[in-house]
Amino acid sequence: MSINSKWTAVTPLNREKHFLITELDFDEDEEVIHCLIEAIISKRSEPIEWQELKNDEKWLQGWK
Q: Is residue 45 helix, strand or coil?
A: strand
- 16-26, strands of its sheet edge to edge: 45-47, 32-39, 16-26, 6-13, 59-61
Dihedral sign of CA atoms 29, 3, 63, 43 in order? positive
The H or E element containing residue 20 is strand 16-26
Higher pLDDT, 2 or 21: 21
The Cα 20–Cα 53 span in angstroms is 12
Taking residues 20-40, report their average pLDDT: 95
Is residue 40 pLDDT above 80, yes or no? yes
